[in-house]
């Protein structure tokens, strides 16, 4: 009589382990508590000064085995390093010879805000100050790029690692790609998920076709309202996984990971961010235009992954950008499109997240010298 073989354990974490009843701060789940404890025990938190004296924070996880590579993980717009605790757990378990560096952008995450520079605990009870604190704002998109270069120079120190890799999500992917255009040769390979090559504006239109949105933007900037929330935006407000009419949220099809996302924002309110300012929108549009215009300057091996159900960035623009890089440097750029996925590919349903993480880690590891793979 034959005996069925035991199922092969999943390579990546399973969303079924996340048993949060809701996304509130008081909700508890043994798996999430274990992830938080592991993160806190392993992290080394480093502060540095960014452009204009803004205090930046970078979370560092040294390799737990003789180091073979270092991965710089650049979070998306409105996120924070702590939001990646599940991915950090997976990477440290599967790639113990990789060091991890997670910088927090200026005005976001654990770094200092730009419109309200006092810390969260000093302004949490002041609605006006809280709104300024939670405005996603930047004066120049290139400041993100310069901050990343400072983090590389002062914290990561590329020359000390056998192989330096980069992974960015959404706006973080744009920062990495703009950095590659300005500082070629820093990384052995780059990967980006849902890269912010072109944002979507009013009614979900790509900004290139959003005539009314661009007119509103121009009017706001002329009126000196660059620091104000863009139209339809405001301070952080928790949103349900599904609306009352059944419509799914815009970021992920995984209810468990959506609850974890909300839980982390509630549990660490100092990291929660609301919508963007008019100035941020203008800078994001300009950064995307510059990225497309200078596509040929990226010669670093590159993998871009985009989502077919992305309501925040234009996946077609990402595909066109990947094609432009591939034309300029044949064999350098790869592109993966997941038609059923939503914007936050790194917290999607298992069936999609597994594909994304397999593709990314295989690609990045292959770019390192044989002795540095692990």
Query: Does the residue 13 lie in any domain?
Result: no
Instruction: Output the six-digit token pair for 74.
Output: 């650049």
CB 251 within 8 A of CB 258: yes
Query: Does the residue 8 lie in any domain?
Result: no
Within its chain, how far is the Cα of 358 from the centroid? 18
Query: Does the residue 295 lie in any domain?
Result: yes
Beta bridge partners of 168: 74, 192
d(CA 190, CA 148): 14
Query: Does the residue 9 lie in any domain?
Result: no
Query: Does the residue 277 lie in any domain?
Result: yes
Report the candidate in 43, 79, 22, 64 with the shortest Cα–Cα distance to residue 347. 79
Instruction: Output the six-digit token pair for 292.
Output: 């497309």
Q: What is the pLDDT of residue 9?
A: 63
Query: Does the residue 16 lie in any domain?
Result: no
Q: What is the pLDDT of residue 201?
A: 87
Query: Does the residue 198 lie in any domain?
Result: yes
Complete DSSP assignment for 217-233: HHHHHHTT-TTSBPTT-
Which CATH number covers residue 265?
3.40.50.1820
Report the candidate in 270, 58, 277 with the shortest Cα–Cα distance to residue 155. 58
CB 60 within 8 A of CB 32: no
pTM given for the model: 0.95
Query: Does the residue 14 lie in any domain?
Result: no
| Domain boundaries, position 171 | 21-372
d(CA 199, CA 216): 15
Q: State whether residue 136 is helix, strand or coil.
A: strand
Q: What is the pLDDT along the chain (374 residues), one digit of tens a residue?
A: 444 444 456 899 999 999 999 999 999 999 999 999 999 999 999 999 999 999 999 999 999 999 999 999 999 999 999 999 999 999 999 999 999 999 999 999 999 999 999 999 999 999 999 999 999 999 999 999 999 999 999 999 999 999 999 999 999 999 999 999 999 999 999 999 999 999 998 878 899 889 999 999 999 999 999 999 999 999 999 999 998 888 999 999 999 999 999 999 999 999 999 999 999 999 999 999 999 999 999 999 999 999 999 999 999 999 999 999 999 999 999 999 999 999 999 999 999 999 999 999 999 999 998 765 55
> How many structural domains compose the chain?
1
């Amino acid at each position: 009589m034959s005996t069925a073989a035991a199922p092969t354990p999943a390579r990546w974490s399973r969303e079924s382990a996340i048993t949060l009843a809701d996304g509130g701060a008081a909700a508890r789940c043994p798996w999430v508590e274990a992830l938080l404890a592991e993160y806190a025990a392993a992290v080394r938190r480093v502060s540095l000064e960014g452009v204009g004296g803004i205090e930046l924070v970078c979370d560092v996880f040294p390799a737990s085995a003789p180091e073979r590579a270092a991965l710089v993980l650049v979070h998306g717009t409105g996120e924070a390093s702590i939001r990646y605790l599940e991915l950090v757990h997976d990477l440290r378990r599967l790639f113990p010879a990789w060091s991890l560096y997670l910088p927090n952008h200026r005005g976001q995450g654990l770094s200092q805000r730009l419109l309200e520079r006092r810390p969260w605990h000093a302004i949490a009870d002041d609605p006006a100050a809280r709104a300024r604190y939670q405005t996603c704002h930047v004066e120049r998109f290139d400041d993100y790029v310069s901050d990343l270069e400072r983090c590389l120079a002062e914290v990561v120190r590329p020359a000390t690692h056998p192989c330096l890799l980069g992974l960015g999500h959404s706006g973080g992917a744009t920062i990495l790609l703009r950095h590659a255009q300005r500082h070629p040769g820093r990384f052995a390979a780059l990967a980006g998920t849902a890269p912010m090559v072109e944002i979507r504006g009013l009614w979900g239109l790509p900004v290139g076709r959003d005539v009314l949105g661009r007119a509103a933007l121009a009017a706001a900037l002329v009126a000196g309202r660059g620091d104000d929330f863009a139209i339809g935006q405001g301070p952080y407000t928790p949103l349900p996984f599904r609306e009352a009419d059944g419509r799914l949220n815009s970021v992920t099809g995984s209810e468990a990971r959506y609850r974890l996302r909300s839980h982390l924002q509630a549990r660490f309110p100092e990291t929660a961010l609301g919508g963007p300012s008019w100035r941020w929108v203008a800078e994001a549009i300009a950064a995307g235009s510059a990225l497309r215009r200078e596509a040929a300057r990226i010669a670093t091996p590159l993998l871009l992954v985009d989502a077919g159900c992305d309501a925040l960035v234009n996946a077609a623009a990402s595909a066109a950008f990947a094609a432009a890089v591939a034309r300029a440097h044949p064999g350098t750029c790869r592109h993966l499109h997941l038609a059923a996925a939503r914007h936050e590919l790194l917290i999607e349903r298992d069936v999609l997240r597994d594909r994304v993480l397999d593709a990314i880690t295989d690609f990045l590891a292959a770019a390192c010298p044989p002795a540095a793979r692990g």
